[in-house]
Amino acid sequence: MGKKKDLQRVQEYDDNQVLLIALGAHNDNLKRLGKKLGVDIKTRGNQISVQGDEKSVDHAFCAIDKMYAMAKKKGDIDNSDIDNALHLSEGLEMNTKEKHNSVQEEDLTLKTRKRHIQPRSQMQAEYVRAMRDYEMVFGLGPAGTGKTFLAVAKAVSLMLEGEIDKIILSRPAVEAGENLGFLPGDLKEKIDPYLRPLYDALYDMLPRDIVDKKLESGEIEVAPLAFMRGRTLSNAMVILDEAQNTTPMQMKMFLTRMGENSRMVINGDLSQTDLPRGVQSGLADALDVLRNVKDIAVVTFTEKDVVRHGLVSAIVKAYDKRYASRKGLVG
């Protein structure tokens, strides 16, 4: 039987300083990559040698190219960037295809005041593309896949380009095991914790004083879903987060708020519904009702698209497995 690791390839990189950032302290990033792909990676100056089976070697160099590009653009790289480089390079076998994808990613850059944001997985790229091409987009999948963050980034970029006048961010105020009535403060103080992730995304893209000014003027609105009733939302991008916690009537109410020159993004995770037992999710209902309606995009993320700490993906996968097995027992 011949040796399994029978291919060795060497590649040279132009900027040694950028390469050092991509490799990480003590080559830790390369060690992480080699462990994940089962290849042997060595460095010498600005050259990298990878040994392993042909497919894994191709995959490794695609990922290293991504890491090098990220280091050049960001000036830094972390474990999530390595995982994302692996996702982006998955299935890429030819340099021409890799270059084509890089061009597409560059075209999908979302420009905000504090940072320029690019998709960090193939599914994120599909999601950003859908928000560019469709007026209504459903983003489905687990936490940590970037659904809310990218939707807010898209909204901010559209506002800065003058394409919309208003950003509206909303979530249903489902209590999720807590009783709002027993929380301290007035209605705003009770509701704000549910809306905190939306504020955090805004402050990550715009200076705090600008966010506060636009919140005060009404150009940016962060509000519970109930506040959308009876309104027509025009010249705006409207984002509904945690949409799995809506009822069918709430979802219908929200979707029919759409006005002229407005866009809607509806995000949720159908495996994380906090509604009372027996109450149907408005998100699931809408996907069923609208399945034959044209000009609506549905993008589905999985645990492979999680871009938080590497453990989050493993945790989501474990819970999904448990959820699927229980569902199988019931059905």
pLDDT 10s digits, 273-290: 888 888 899 999 999 999
Q: What is the DSSP string of 266-277?
A: EEE-GGG--SPT
Residue 107 included in any domain: no
Residue 47 sits in the same domain as residue 183:
no
For residue 104, is it within any domain? no
Domain count of the fold of the chain: 2
Note the pLDDT tens digit of each residue in 73-89.
777 777 667 766 776 66
* 52 and 193 assigned to the same domain: no
| pLDDT tens-digit map of 18-32 | 888 888 888 888 888
In a domain, 276, yes or no: yes
- Report H helices in the chain: 16-23, 28-37, 54-74, 79-89, 95-107, 122-133, 147-160, 187-203, 208-217, 248-255, 282-289, 310-330
How does pLDDT run across 145-186, given as a tens digit for each residue? 889 999 999 999 999 999 999 999 998 876 433 344 444 444
Domain that holds residue 232: 117-330
**CATH number of the domain residue 17 falls in:** 3.30.1370.10
99 found inside a domain: no
Q: What is the pTM assigned to this prediction?
A: 0.65
Does pLDDT of 206 surpass 90? yes
> Are 82 and 121 in a shared domain?
no
Task: Confirm whether 322 is domain-assigned.
Answer: yes
Look at residue 279 and tell me if it is in a domain. yes
Do 163 and 297 have their domain in common? yes
Q: Same structural domain for residues 159 and 70?
A: no
Looking at the structure, tell me whether residues 317 and 179 fall in a common domain.
yes
Does residue 262 register a pLDDT over 50?
yes
What is residue 141's DSSP assignment? S
| Domain end marker among 93, 127, 157 | 93
Q: Is residue 44 part of a domain?
A: yes
- Closest listed residue to residue 140, CA positions, set 273, 262, 322: 273
Query: Does a structural domain hold residue 112?
Result: no
- pLDDT for position 75: 78
